[in-house]
Structure formats: structure tokens, C-alpha cells
Chain A
Amino acid sequence: MTTQTPMDKTTDTTKVSTAPATPIIPLPHAAARALTVAGSALALIGTFLAWTWTDEFPGNLTVTGYPGGLQVLTLVGALLTLLFALSGYGIRGLGWLTPGGKNSPVLLAALGVFGTTGYAMGAISQELGGLVNLEPGAWVSGIGALVAVIGALGLPVDQPYGAQDPTPNLWGRIRHSLTAPEPSRAKDLPSWVEILIIAAGFGVGLYVFAYGIGTEYSELFIGFLIVTAFGFTAVTRAGLLKRLSALTAKHRNVAMAAAFVAAICFPFTQTNDQFALIGANILIFATVALGLNVVVGLAGLLDLGYVAFLGVGAYAAALVSGSPQSSIGVEFPFWAAVLTGAAASLIFGVVIGAPTLRLRGDYLAIVTLGFGEIFRITMNNLNGNSGPDVTNGSNGIPNIPDLEIFGFNLGLPHNVLGTELTRSGNYYLLMLLCTAIVVLVFRRSAESRIGRAWVAIREDETAATAMGINGFRLKLLAFALGASLAGLAGTVQAHVSYSVTPEQYQFAGSVPPNSAFLLAAVILGGMGTISGPLIGAALLYLIPAKLQFMAEYQLLLFGIALMLLMRYRPEGLVADRRKQLEFHETGQLDVPEDKPLPEGATGVAKAGA
């Protein structure tokens, strides 16, 4: 261990953090850091020992020298803590890890380790009946994690207390110790290095995501959530995320390509067809959420019945799919089915939008909610009894055949580059193509005259019309575009899920996508952004899918999570470029406005001349 670094370096780091703010646990700085390093190292070593005696607890934690299951999570977390803590020593080569906060990432990572280790110990003793089932390895890791947290609490705080609250109470101090200053501007690297960094960033992202989908039991998934939540925050506080996003903003097309390459790689990392199916379903959900983001995020139209458009697309595709239960009995090639689905949704969108878009705000929300339900009930009633037989009522249209594109049957596994691509993998890739199209449509329309008009309508409709924008026409355009994007996703969804039934398209239900979850994905992820709804949808799909045991409380927990998010991060997980500007500029407002008048005067003089 490299705890013995020269003293002047340690004092140097103390000086950097200019800490009039005392740490929560008053320890000498050197001791606190040594304690953190030792604790995280101990936790790391513990993961190589056995945690329990029997493999009845999932993941087999009985092997010495080979971490498995929850141990891996503790291992990763402890490694992260160790690296951040060592970076604070100013060790050459580790400084890049903490361009922003120096000590709050350590604390956050240590808390993550403590959380997941503590959770693992609790789960073991609860499931196997008592603390006796814990082997020494678990205690080593647990105590190590605790020591690391205590040490991290003793580290000086990254930034002095704010002027408005110079002496916060204990809770305020704890919260403050988790904040960190923004990183300074990175120095320019050669662009190939920057591109490599972006690629590595997306690689890590893909790995974490694939790991999360691949977690086989709920204990592992909860541990995963704890470690990623804390680890992600730690990385953010360290300023690494800011650096990465600065890079992606600089090389936008490269970053987008990297993201898609990472997404394409996903099915090749999955050996289990079930997990690839989860991936495909997440993509469907995310694509529809992104379509909804056009309507809600850009044009500001609150649509509570959006899932109906997905349903229209799916039903249209099912009817022309050649399913024996389809009342039409024709079989369109895929491209024609896609066009049919998108066109049907488009027409449905215009038909619903034309009368309702004259309403504003809450009234529009209520009416769209009503239309969403009307769609479902109508599909239920077109069963030959209470209406013409089109959709088989509540039985829906089953036995939708698999797609065949250019002789490539998506229903059969294929061997690509030595890896077997399963049926779900095939559909995942097809869906990814749809997602790419929707991303492209979103991005291009948002950055155009039309997109600006949508945002203007969202901001102030009266002023927008006074600027010459035909409000009704543009709102209808947004509605129709959003509808056809959902219809596009619906055509693939019909084939992925083999059957379409009215019950898939509810306002609120336990299985996404439904209107409530779609809206939640947009709001949680960040309105008006591309990555926001994708991330939001992934989280909202994965969490219920992986935590089956809390299905009863799912909506309750979901509601609580949403409220907490709205309280602490109302702009969503991914902030809009405009929101970022807002934060960026609040600092500037404090600067006294020294010369607004001369500026104006020169401007006028120039124009007058």
C-alpha cells in the first residue's frame, strides 16, 4: 500500500480544498485518509474470502479467492473508493480521476460499498436464518467498509459553506459534504485520444447496463442499484461526467455513433434469450418515450393517452401480418407493414388532435386521457358481439408470424461472427434501427425552424402566435409526428410480443409501456432531451422487471421516487441544454452589470449611421 507519501503533498491537498468547513468527524487529515484507504483495501480483500458457508444463498459466495455475485459489486465499489482516496494523495497518474471534487467522491463511493456490503450481510443472515451464517470474509468486508466510511467522513469538505448558511446543522453538514465544485476546463487532447475516451466511456456504460440486465436474482440487482447509484454520483461529483459530456458535446457525431455501436454490441454480450428480450422491450419503451418527448418535451402538449398510438401501430401491423386470426388475412412485407402502422397512427393522431388541440393545458391532458381509454375499449368491443369483428375483442390478435427481411428470418437464431444471435437479439437489432430513426427525427426536427416554433409555443403560446407562428397547425404537426413515431415502434412490438391485446395499452398498469410510465420516463429522464427518455425508460423497465417481489408496492414506490426526484432534481436526470445554460448563467448574474448602456448606444449609433 502506498500510504506513505511525503507530508507536504498531503498538506497541499488540504490547501486546495481551503477548508474552513470542518469535517463531520474531526480527525486529522492524514489519519482520515489513511483510514479510508485501509478500510477500502480491507473491504477489497474481504471479497476474496468466503462470505457464507452454503451455496443456498444465490451467487455462491462460498469460494475463497474467487469473488462472485454480490462480492463482485463490493469489489468494484471498494476499488473505486480506493482509487478516489489515493487520487487525493496527489499520486502521479491518478489526478485525472478527480478534476472536480476530491473528497466527496470518496465518501459517496465508500457509502456505496458500505450499502451493498451491509445489504449483502443482511440478506444472507435473513435468508439463511441468523448472523451465524456469515463467514469471516463478510465481516472483513463489512468492517472494512465501515472504517472506510468513518475515514471518509473525517476528510475535509470540498468547498466552503455557502454564504447564506455559514453554520449548518449536522444534517446540513452531511449534505454539504456530498457536494463538490465544478471541474475546471480540461486541456485539449489530440482528438483521437478524446474519441478513445468517449469510446471507453460508452464501453463502460454498455458493460454496466448489460450487467444490470443480466442480474439473475433480485438480491444481486438491489446490490447493483446501490453500487451504481452511489458510484454514478461519486463519478459525477469527481467531475468525470462533466468532462465526458464536454467531450461528447465536442464530438457529437462520434459520440452518437459510439452510443449506437455500444447498443449494437449488447445482444452479443447476452447468452440468455430472456435478457435480450428485456433489451428489445426496453428499446420499444424508450423509442415510444422519445416519440412522446416530441409532444411533451418540445411542444409542451401534455398527452396522457399516448400509448394508444403505439396500439394503433401494433394493431395495424398485426392485421396485415398474415396472422391466421387476423380479420383481414393479408400479409404485407415488413416495409409495407411499417408504413401502414405509421400511417394509421398518423391518421389517428390527426383525427384526435384536430378537435382536441384547440384546448390548452389541463383540458388537453384530460381529453387525451379519455381518447387513450376510448381506444382500448373500442379494441375490446370490436369483437363481433358488441361491434363488427375486427380485433377479436379481448383475445386480441395472436400468432403473429415472425418477420422475414431479405430472406433473413428474425424468428430463428443466427450465427453472427461466432456468436449466436437469438430471436430476441434479432428483434433487438431491428428495434435499434427504429430507435436510431426516431433519434434522428427528434434531433433534426428539434434543431430546425419547426422545433424552435414548438418550443416557443411551449413557452408562451400567445407570444408565439404574435410572432407569426400558426399555433394550431404546429401543434397538430407535433401531435401527428409523435403519433407516427409511436406507430413505427408499434409495428415492431406486435412481432416481438407475438400477439396484441387491448390490455397492453392501458393508461396505467404494472408493465410498461403504458401512458403513465411513458410520461414518467420522459419527465424522470429529462424533458426535451434525447438521452433522458432513453435512460428513464431503461430504469423504469428494469426496476419492475428485476424486482418482482415488490410488485405489490411497485406503484407506491414509483410514486415516492417520482416525488423525491421532482423535489431534488426537477429537470430530470439529464438536464436540457437550456437548463444547463440556466445553471451556467446563475453564476454570471451576480457579476455587476457594468456597461449595458454604452453597448446599446454603440449598437444604435452603428445602425443609425
Chain B
Amino acid sequence: MTTTTTAPTSTTVLDATGVTMRFGGLTAVRDVNLTVNTGEIVGLIGPNGAGKTTFFNCLTGLYVPTEGKVAYKGTVLPPKPHLVTQAGIARTFQNIRLFANMTVLENVLVGRHTRTKEGLWSALLRLPGFKKAEEESRARAMELLEFTGLAAKADHLARNLPYGEQRKLEIARALASEPGLLLLDEPTAGMNPQETRAAEELIFAIRDKGIAVLVIEHDIRFIMNLCDRVAVLVQGEKIVEGPAEVVQSDERVIAAYLGTPFEGAPGKEEAAEVEAAEAEAQSTTEGDDK
């Protein structure tokens, strides 16, 4: 699969400026700026608790950011999840949130909600447009199930799908709202390497459909393969942003993940000193025992 970076003549899809989210005294996200352009796959990484999911929630209207604004294709988004989805941003969840007791097809049809208009009266009176709209929705949903490879399971309950397929279904459901930007929150969590490979392919295919992708992930190899650009969030702040290779070798990133090396690594003499001190301490305690 190709990993070529896209043409530089791309326009900005997402433009988050100065997004800050405070919960009381805790600042979960501090002054984060991030842009995503069309045809781009951008990665968002960071240690646990860095505020990645909180940032996602700010983008999608689940949280109202304390400061800052989020614009989609030039218009500032209102802080209501359904309006954000309507504008063209779709998302998946870190802990899978499917409609467990609905069928696979119905799940995707729910995703079509904002792109269809048939109201209650239309449904009750079976107005002329109703049947056509339903059929169109179904056809579109089946297309997406085909795309994600779930078409054979359209009539199964979402809860009965195996884990990897539930992840795929979440993506299909998000795609049903015809987004311009797809936010994926840890799409490969809990997957084996093969499944992760398949997920990669799927995300490339989504990119090829002209949908920009912003993805949170812990699997560094996955991010490196996938992303044109990577942003690193540590303790709510964006510390680096750039191409994957640059970010990977950035020492601040290494520090965030592995910790900083001890100030002046212990030399030979110091080690010997410590050893001697320990031996002495041991002998004295033994002496006390006697």
C-alpha cells in the first residue's frame, strides 16, 4: 500500500486554535493548536492521561472547551455533538460504543441520520419520498458494509460481532454520516498484528476516498506507517508536531515516554562506592542481629 504524502495544495479541514479544557483546577488540555488538511492522516500520540481523548471530545462538541475555538473548513463549530457531526466530523470511540442490540445494518443506518430528512409525519403517512429515501439509505449503508467487509453480517446483532469487527463497524457507522474528517480514537486497541495491518489498509482506503483522518494511537509502528504528520500531547500540552521520523527521534518525546536519563549517569567509581556502602550496611545489621 502506498504511503506517499499528499500534494501540498491541500486545504485546511480542521483548525483548532488555543483549545484549553479545564475541569475545576485540573487543566486537561492546555492551549493546543492543530490543523488537519484534506487528504492527510494525522496522528495524535502521547502517554496515558495526556489529554488526547479530552481533546477529541472538545473537537466533537461533547465537551465545551474552556478556551479556544474549533473550525471546520473555515466555519467555527457549535459545541453540540450532533451539529458537529452534521457539519462533517465523525468519530469513533476508544471503548467501543455501538448500539449493541441493533443489527449491523441498523447501526450504519443510524449513522445516516444527519444525511436524511424524513421526519415523523413522513414515516407515519408514508409520504412519497419516504420509501425512496429508505432504500437509498439502505443501499448506501450496504455499500459501506461492503467497504469495511461486514456485508455478510448485516443482519447480525452488533453485540455478537467479534471485537475486531466491532471496531470496523464503528468506522462504517462513522463513515455513514459522510464526513470530511474522521476522528479515530485508538482504532487498533486490543488487536493482534494481523488485524492491525488490516486496520491500516482500511484507513488508507478511507484517506483515498478523500476523507482526512485524525487518529489517536499507542502503537508507534502503526502511527509511523500510517501518518503524514504526528502531534505529541504530553500532560495536556502539544510538545512536538512534525513528520513521523522527526517526532520519533525527538528527545522530548522519548523523555515523555521513557523518562529522562538520570542526571549524569552513574560512573564506575560511584557504583563501587554504593556497593561498598551497601556491603558495610549489611555487615552492621548482621552484627546487630548477633
Contact = CB atoms under 8 A, between A and B. Distances in A.
Interface of A: 440-441, 444-445, 447-453, 455-456, 459-460, 462-471, 477, 481, 578-579, 581-582, 585-586, 588-589, 593, 596-597, 599-604, 606-608
Given A467-B114, A607-B208, 20 more contacts: A444-B126, A447-B123, A449-B118, A450-B118, A452-B109, A453-B110, A455-B99, A455-B106, A456-B102, A460-B98, A460-B99, A463-B98, A464-B99, A465-B80, A465-B82, A467-B111, A468-B114, A597-B194, A604-B201, A608-B208
Given A465-B81, A585-B156, A585-B160, A459 B120 contact: no
Contacts of A440: 124
A328 B120 CA distance: 34
Interface stretch (B142-150, B243-251, B278-286): B142-150
18 contacts: A444-B126, A448-B118, A448-B123, A449-B109, A449-B123, A452-B106, A453-B113, A465-B81, A467-B82, A467-B177, A468-B82, A471-B82, A582-B157, A589-B160, A596-B164, A599-B149, A607-B208, A607-B209
Contact of B147 (A470, A481, A585, A607): A607
Contact of A602 (B100, B134, B149): B149
Interface in B33-88: 60, 62, 80-82, 85-86
Contacts of B174: 467
A332 to B, nearest CB: 24
A452 B120 CA distance: 12
B229 interface: no
Contacts of B98: 460, 463
Contact of A459 (B80, B101, B208): B101
B31 interface: no
Most buried by A among B146, B162, B204, B205: B205
B120 A600 contact: no
A578 B157 contact: yes
B149 A608 contact: no
A-B pairs, top 7 by smallest CB distance, nearest first, are A603-B149, A468-B114, A448-B123, A468-B85, A459-B99, A600-B149, A463-B97
Majority secondary structure, A binding face: helix
Nearest to A585: B160
A582 to B, nearest CB: 6
A445 B149 contact: no
Contact of A445 (B112, B116, B124, B204): B124
A466 B85 contact: yes
A452 B102 contact: yes
B238 interface: no
A601 B123 contact: no
Given A448-B130, A459-B101, A477-B120, A581 B155 contact: yes
Given A448-B123, A465-B82, A600 B100 contact: no
Contacts of A447: 123
B190 to A, nearest CB: 15
Interface string B114-149: 101011101110100010011001000000001111
Nearest to B170: A463
B94 interface: no
Interface string B177-193: 10000000000000000
B146 A606 contact: yes
A597 B113 contact: no
Given A582-B157, A586-B160, A597 B99 contact: no
A540 B133 CA distance: 40
B110 A466 contact: no
Contacts of A597: 194-195, 198
B159 interface: yes
Given A601-B201, A607-B209, A444 B124 contact: yes
B82 A470 contact: yes
B165 interface: yes
B125 to A, nearest CB: 8
Most buried by A among B110, B124, B202, B208: B110
B168 interface: yes
Contacts of B113: 449, 452-453, 456, 467-469
Contacts of B81: 462, 465-466, 468
Nearest to A465: B81
Contacts of A603: 146-151
B110 A452 contact: yes
Nearest to A464: B110
B277 to A, nearest CB: 57
Contacts of B177: 467-468
A578 B120 CA distance: 22
B157 A445 contact: no
A445 B152 contact: no
A469 B122 CA distance: 18
B222 interface: no
A581 B156 contact: yes
A182 B156 CA distance: 20
A462 B98 CA distance: 10
A460 B97 contact: yes
Contacts of A448: 118, 120, 122-123, 130, 134
Contacts of B102: 452, 455-456, 459, 578
A453 B204 CA distance: 30
B235 interface: no
Contacts of B114: 467-469
A572 to B, nearest CB: 14
B2 to A, nearest CB: 10
A468 B147 contact: no
A507 to B, nearest CB: 29
A468 B83 CA distance: 7
Contacts of A456: 99, 102, 110, 113
A389 B152 CA distance: 65
A589 B152 CA distance: 15
Given A578-B102, A596-B162, A600-B148, A462 B97 contact: yes
B202 A451 contact: no
A441 B124 CA distance: 6
Contacts of A455: 99, 101-102, 106
B92 to A, nearest CB: 9
A449 B194 contact: no
B12 interface: no
A603 B146 CA distance: 6
Contacts of A481: 120
Contacts of A593: 162
A582 B82 contact: no
A444 B146 CA distance: 28
B173 to A, nearest CB: 7
A269 B146 CA distance: 55
Contacts of B111: 467-468
A466 B91 contact: yes
B270 to A, nearest CB: 53
A602 B159 CA distance: 24
Nearest to B158: A459
A468 B173 CA distance: 11
Contacts of A441: 124
A449 B131 CA distance: 11
A467 B85 contact: yes
B201 A459 contact: no
A477 B93 CA distance: 27
B173 A467 contact: yes
Contacts of B17: none
B27 interface: no
Contact of B159 (A451, A452, A477, A582): A582
Nearest to B179: A468
Nearest to A477: B120
A462 B99 CA distance: 11
Nearest to A577: B103
Most buried by B among A444, A471, A593: A444
B139 to A, nearest CB: 15
Contact of B62 (A449, A466, A582): A466
Contacts of B93: 463, 466
